[in-house]
Amino acid sequence: MNNQSISVTAVINRQAASLRSTHTMTMISLLAAVSFVLSFLEFPVPLSPSFARMDLSDFPALVGAMTMGPWAGVLVELVKNLLGLLSTSTGGVGELANFLMGGAMVYLAGMIYYKNHRPAWLACLTGAIGMAVMAAVTNYFILLPLFETFMPLDALIASFAEFIPFIHTKLDVVLWNAIPFNLLKGLGIALVTLVVYPKLTPVLRGTNKGR
């Protein structure tokens, strides 16, 4: 009788784990789809040339990381950028840079909040800083070299200097444009997430209770 009870319990636990896994993957797919749609709603970066654009497509990924764990957020970013390859104009380079920046933000936030149970505001702030740091790396080594394929470096730097006069080098573009505005973007996404994610937690986790 005891063995039967243990066997039944094990079956129930396996079924429950399977359902949770299915629900999680469904929610990740849904968040990735929303993120992909948001990636088309671009707006100009302040004090930047017209080709510099921003969007809020990392918001669903951050929500996923906060409610289902850091790798859920990274998966949302991955799927969004894989979908972006279908209509890319950068040969996948822009999608790679976007994945690295967004992935850094959501992974850090998810690790701090979901895994280590630290305050949500601290997780989001750290994620925004992580995005800014990764933006420095990706802009210097990936995005700016990409822009150089259709615009000489001097002209590229001059296009930024029109808005920020003390920009004279590629490093200046990173320090005075890429870092501050990606930090601002990260903080904006973080603020929206802090307001919205508690309401979405029960739905995304498949429960009637938040964290």
Looking at the DSSP bridge assignments, the partners of residue 150 are none
> Which amino acid does the sequence have at 74?
V
Q: Check if the beta carbon of residue 157 is closer than 8 Å to that of residue 166.
A: no
Instruction: Report the predicted TM-score, pTM, of the whole model to 2 decimal places.
Output: 0.85
Task: Quote helix, strand, coil % in the chain, to nearest 5.
Answer: 75, 0, 20
| Whole-number Å distance between alpha carbons of 26 and 206 | 11
In which region does residue 206 sit, left (phi positive, over 0), alpha (psi from -120 to 50) or beta (all else)?
Answer: left
| Whole-number Å distance between alpha carbons of 156 and 179 | 17
- Average pLDDT of the residues of the chain: 86
Please report the pLDDT score of residue 154 as a whole number.
92
| Whole-number Å distance between alpha carbons of 64 and 73 | 5
Q: Which two tokens stand for residue 131?
A: 């995005």
Predicted confidence (pLDDT) per residue in 5-55, tens digit: 555 454 445 544 444 688 888 999 999 999 999 999 988 877 777 777 788
Please report the pLDDT score of residue 119 as a whole number.
96
CB atoms within 10 A of CB 139: 23
| Whole-number Å distance between alpha carbons of 165 and 158 | 9
Average pLDDT, 10 consecutive residues per value, the chain (211 residues): 51 47 88 95 79 87 94 96 91 91 97 95 97 96 87 89 92 94 94 92 70 43
